[in-house]
Amino acid sequence: MHPHPASRIPWRASALALLCINVACDSLPAAEPSPPTPLATSEARLDPPTQFTDVAFVGTAACSNDYSRIDNCYNAENPQRPSIFRELSAAWRPYRDASTTPLSVRPSALTGVMQPFPPFEYDNGWSAPRTPETADASQAIQVMPFNRGSNDGRLFVRGGCRGCAEGSTLYTFRPELLGPDFRYDFAQKGTRYVQPTWQPGLHPFVAFNPMPGYSRLAAKNNNDFPDMLHSTLCEDSVSSLNAGGRGRNPLACRARYESTSPWVSGDCYDISLVYGMVASDGKRWELRSTALTVFVRNPKLATAGDSVGGGVQNWGLWVYPRNPEGESKSLPTWDLPPFRPFNVHDSNWGDMSTGSTYSVPGAPDTIDWIRLFTQNASFQCYVPKKIFGFTYYVRNTAATAPKWCQFFDRQSFAGDLKVEDDEDAVIGNGSTWNGVIGNGPDEKHLAMFEPATSGDGRMLILNMGGLFYASSDAICQAATWSHFKPISMMPMDPAVNTRYELARSQVINGQPRNFRDTMGNPIPFGVRNQGAYAWLDREGKNLFFAAKNNPHDGYYARKVAREDRSAPVSYLDELWSEPASDADRARFNPDRAPAQAISVLGAWTHGKAVILDNGMSITDLGGNSEDRYQRTYSLRLYAGADLPLSPKGSSQLFSFENQLNTFNALRPTLPFDVVWNFQSNTQRNSEVAFDDYLNKRAFVVAHMNAAMRMDVSPEGPLRAETFPQDGFMPTRNAWAYVRGGDIADFKFMRNPLAQNAATGSPLFGTDGPQPPASVRLRGGARIEPVALGGVSGKGVWLDGRNDFMDMGYPVDGSRRDWLFGIWLDSRMDPPFVPRPGGVSRTVPRTLFYFSDNSWVGLVQAVDGSSNTWHELTGYNGQTGSTFTVNLGSLVQPGKYFHFGMKVYTLAGQRKLTFYINGTAHSSLTVAPYDVGFDPMYNSMNGWTWMTVGDPGPNFVQGQTRLPFHGWVDELRIYALSPGDIVRPWVEELLCNQALGTTVDLTYRPPEVYSPVLETLRSRSVQYPLSSGRALCEQLRLGSYVEPLDYPAQSGEHLCIDRVHKNPHSVQQWRERCLRTSMMAMPHLEAALPRPDSSSNAFCQSCHTSSAPLPGLRMGALTAGGVNRYQDPRRQPMNVPAVLGGTVPPWLLVRMDQPDGTFTLDHHFDWLNAP
């Protein structure tokens, strides 16, 4: 393990444009088709290699195997099969021929494992839905709701499309029913689900008024009402702040059915519903809102929202118009008027049907709405009034008027809209849109899809053919959202950049700065985008959206199984070679739908777009949702059997943020400081960790997914550049409507660019070096189209011949200390077994190569008794010295491990410390002075580079090296601050990157025996630096089918499954979890001011004195001037400061506030979460 000298070979200046010679490219025989597998993503035996051309179209030559051709070419062979498989298909329920037919789930591997959301099947909106089989659901993982919800995460809206089984519907969410890993436990909590089995749909009149003059959308009859699918729930109740005198949802209240009925206690929500409504013929849009008060029965209980018997009087939810009868909120308890007069469902539905008494003479399908609303007693909301000889219709305010007419009074709709769709940087010169889809005056080809609002109800985001926004001083009123701009204008818009941190973070010294795309390119003010399916967090800090919504046709399936969703029939289409016709190419294209590349942009990414690599982006392939068939595609992506999947994009997103961290089961698992649970209609529960995006010295954060350009318009001449940088390019027509079956003719033609999700920039207050714009894949390596190959989502396969990844960046010679981390799954061929007494070693496989010609590699060794082990070896390009470190059996072929490395200078000497799976293994001095292993070596006159894998034999000629062979994932490089290299928080950070947390292993008599602790101790003996003292306890990794980002494993560990959850009940065991002490996190108490954390080095990794936002400045870390429960500063994963409405039975310690809320810190500082 000591360095030893070797001949020093002078470095020759080179721009890494490696020398090429003309060598014929290898060609490989086509593999025989693999046998079919069940419709689930599962492991298969290692079959003969398969070809990239068996699954993709190529428009370039194959790469060589000797570095003579490494750019703009492809690897002929597909990667070996990944070692970790996860289910890629979104769960779905097949056709049932009768309402009594039991529910099932596809893929069948998910049966008994999970329950899709919603857990029921709605065959008829007014009939009780079909519930899952108890045996399938009793211990299943429940996918969380992904519809639009209230700020407290307990009330949601869904449905409303024409032809759906139910109309627009409100329902409650009941976190009380879930246990660890989001599982049901019917034995303990009863056979109940996270939402009630049935809720009445909202009557169309709650949000729509067909009376002439009150909408531009005409409706002939009750079968012609507008489509209400595109909706969101809007309110002014940002629950994470101590609201003081502000409005708060919910408020404790009472209601009753009739004036003679007994009072029922519950929670009341003042909300609005915002709709992008479209006429039944699909030709006109209208933005509408309605203000409501919603009463919830049995709130904050496992029965919240349940009906307690038959009839309306026992419904779990009663929906009133806002402030019914003029009632206002009152404290301590708000009493609502009797509900029955407000129940619009009591009106006669048949009076609005075709052939009704109120039909227009001669037009039986057209209702005379004026006559219905003025002459029918149960609909008499209006009365005629003559003014200057003209007849007007005004609201009927007589006592006899139906009280439900007040819904009409609470509605708002937008007229003509101003839309800034001209792509210039001027606010105010946009054109007018009257909502009509067409080419006439004031008509446009726009839409009002997927509304999303901020938690204060003042900003609205719509997909109008790309993401646009409008802001207003009014709260949740459609009529005031009249000026829409592309989201690229947010940083320059005073109406937004003074209110929301999403845009305010881009104002530097009074000067608005552009958002940046995933490659760091400034996004010009006014440029349009292809974004869709937006979700905005409650405080307007971060915007989440699908970045890829224009499908492409570069991949093809070998088989397509089509299953009819409306009949018991299925079909199988097969290919034996690539599609020969455009019709076949469209039929076998697995990417004909939008909603991929879920991204985040905002304050916590320093204004840079970041594409996430988790269950929300489970595949870059969208499937085909254009007809009634559910398709399962078989793709020849890897060696061995074809991969079957039913892809689906994330077209609905939602996060509880920290609102339900009051429940142990709903707290995140990942061991990072800022983590939110997320869920999407890919039927997965995911987690988003923001730490790397906030870290001011993150230099490279590579999730191994493709970068995307957003600095050019998808509506302009550079449209071809707006597709993912995955190596594919449209060769025929970048404007082709691939979703509808047209052919763009995408082919793999150029080097893919992996996203660098590091967001630092000196402009935005960070003080790290300028990160590389992206990570280039060379030698034919590709970006995976599905979330396989990696520990988290996608990995990159390096074929061991000439594949590597490089990155270039400007030199910053002041950076001497560095932290590297990467997940590796080595597939190198083992060495031959030598004679007894001998040792055989493979040629070193380069892991990291620096431009000063220093490198670190991996070697596999075997002795004459067939004992195998791995070694690290390395070369200092500045001194010519080499080293070898024996890793023993810590590295296993075909199994992922995390490799970490600290490179630093201490007492003038250059040193390396190596980590395996998050635990320090060995440390050595590689130079007696500060040279070698330098990511900032000035090799190109102010510019430099480094690689993952080997750049080739032209560097240090004569030296025997080969590129790494296997899968790689989650590359992290940090430029450390002076002194950080010896601080404990850096050790914990590296362990966290290995998906672990540090555990104290020292012996403390008397001990309570723990088999988990003893296993960790046994493992620690393989680490010379850490044996018996501490170990990084990691999450268990392996193939799985649960709808999570990692295998479900609550309760299996000592610490790693409890980082954010309740600590272990055994005090001795919980005291061994070292994260809090290593991060120097202070203990917080509600009744004391927050302590000063401004000197905490871990906190300083994100906070700076020059950050544009107060929350990221050093002032956010200073001591509090008031008790913590009164301090508006909250850490992102703290429970909310206060809760409103009915007090839950578990809240044992609290302080009641004047606004009807109660504090939570007093409870959670000392007691566990329920």
Q: Please give the helix or strand (H or E) that residue 413 lies within, else none.
A: strand 411-413
**Cα distance between residue 118 and residue 812, in whole Å:** 53
Give pLDDT, residue 37: 37
Q: What is the pLDDT of residues 844-856, one digit of tens each?
A: 999 999 999 999 9
Percent of the chain with pLDDT over 90: 86
**Cα distance between residue 769 and residue 256, in whole Å:** 64
Q: What is the pLDDT of residues 1105-1134, one digit of tens each?
A: 888 888 888 888 899 999 999 998 888 899
776-815: burial string, b at 16+ Cβ within 10 Å, e else: bbbbbbbbbbbbbbbbbbbbbbbbbbbbbbbbbbebeeeb
Query: Where residue 325 falls among pLDDT bands split at 50, 70, 90?
Result: confident
Give pLDDT, residue 126: 58
Give pLDDT, residue 498: 96
Give pLDDT, residue 125: 59
Query: Where residue 327 falls among pLDDT bands split at 50, 70, 90?
Result: confident
Phi-psi region of 484 (alpha: psi -120 to 50; beta: other; left: phi over 0): beta
Give pLDDT, residue 326: 81
Query: Where residue 2 falls among pLDDT bands split at 50, 70, 90?
Result: very low
Q: What CATH number does domain 797-992 carry, 3.40.50.2300, 3.20.20.105, 2.60.120.200, 3.40.50.970?
A: 2.60.120.200
What is the pLDDT averaged over residues 374-400? 94
**How far from chain centre, in Å, is Cα 1065?**
32
Give pLDDT, residue 198: 85
- Strand-pair category, 570-574 with 559-564: antiparallel
Give pLDDT, residue 761: 87
CB 163 within 8 A of CB 233: no
Q: Using CA atoms in the order 105, 795, 653, 161, what is the torsion angle rounded to 10 degrees?
A: -50
Main-chain phi, psi angles of 647, to 5 degrees: -75, 150
What is the pLDDT averaged over residues 85-89? 97
Query: In this structure, what token pair is assigned to residue 190?
Result: 């009863």
Domain ranges of the chain: 414-513, 797-992
Query: 267 pLDDT exceeds 80?
Result: yes
Query: 557 pLDDT exceeds 80?
Result: yes
Query: 884 pLDDT exceeds 90?
Result: yes
What is the pLDDT averaged over residues 729-750? 98
Give pLDDT, residue 248: 76
Give pLDDT, residue 238: 65
Give pLDDT, residue 309: 94
What is the pLDDT averaged over residues 660-680? 97
Query: 881 pLDDT exceeds 50?
Result: yes
Query: 18 pLDDT exceeds 50?
Result: no
Find tokens 């039929």 and name the residue. Answer: 587
57-87: burial string, b at 16+ Cβ within 10 Å, e else: bbbbebbbbebbbbebbbbbbbbbbbbbbbb
What is the pLDDT averaged over residues 427-436? 97
Query: 927 pLDDT exceeds 70?
Result: yes
Give pLDDT, residue 15: 35
Give pLDDT, residue 1142: 95
Query: Where residue 47 falls among pLDDT bands split at 50, 70, 90?
Result: low
| Gyration radius of the chain over CA positions | 31
Q: What is the pLDDT of residues 996-1045, one digit of tens each?
A: 999 999 999 999 999 999 999 999 999 999 888 999 999 999 999 999 99
**Cα distance between residue 829 and residue 819, in whole Å:** 29
**Cα distance between residue 453 and residue 149, in whole Å:** 11
**Cα distance between residue 412 and residue 435, in whole Å:** 15
Nearest to 470 by CA among 516, 530, 521, 534: 534
CB 971 within 8 A of CB 821: yes
Query: 6 pLDDT exceeds 50?
Result: no
Q: What is the pLDDT of residues 465-516, one digit of tens each?
A: 999 999 999 999 999 999 999 999 999 999 999 999 999 999 999 999 999 9
Please, how many CA atoms are within 13 Å of residue 749, restricted to the half-sphere of its CB?
Answer: 10
Please tell me what DSSP assigns to residue 1117: G
What is the pLDDT averaged over residues 1049-1067? 96
Query: 167 pLDDT exceeds 60?
Result: yes
Give pLDDT, residue 100: 86
**Cα distance between residue 404 and residue 292, in whole Å:** 12
Please tell me what DSSP assigns to residue 226: P
Give pLDDT, residue 165: 65
Main-chain phi, psi angles of 680, to 5 degrees: -145, 170
Query: Where residue 124 falls among pLDDT bands split at 50, 70, 90?
Result: low
Give pLDDT, residue 332: 74
Query: Where residue 768 falls among pLDDT bands split at 50, 70, 90?
Result: confident
Q: What is the pLDDT of residues 272-306, one digit of tens each?
A: 999 999 999 999 999 999 999 999 999 999 999 99
- Averaged pLDDT score across all residues of the chain: 93
**Cα distance between residue 1023 and residue 1007, in whole Å:** 23
pTM across the whole model:
0.94
Amino acid at 962: L
Find tokens 């708000």 and name the residue. Answer: 334
> Comparing 71-85, 152-166, 447-461, 600-614, which segment has the lowest mean pLDDT?
152-166
What is the pLDDT averaged over residues 2-10? 38
What is the pLDDT averaged over residues 540-563? 98
Cα dihedral across residues 486, 488, 489, 494: positive or negative? positive
Give pLDDT, residue 10: 34
Give pLDDT, residue 24: 30
What is the pLDDT averaged over residues 755-765? 90
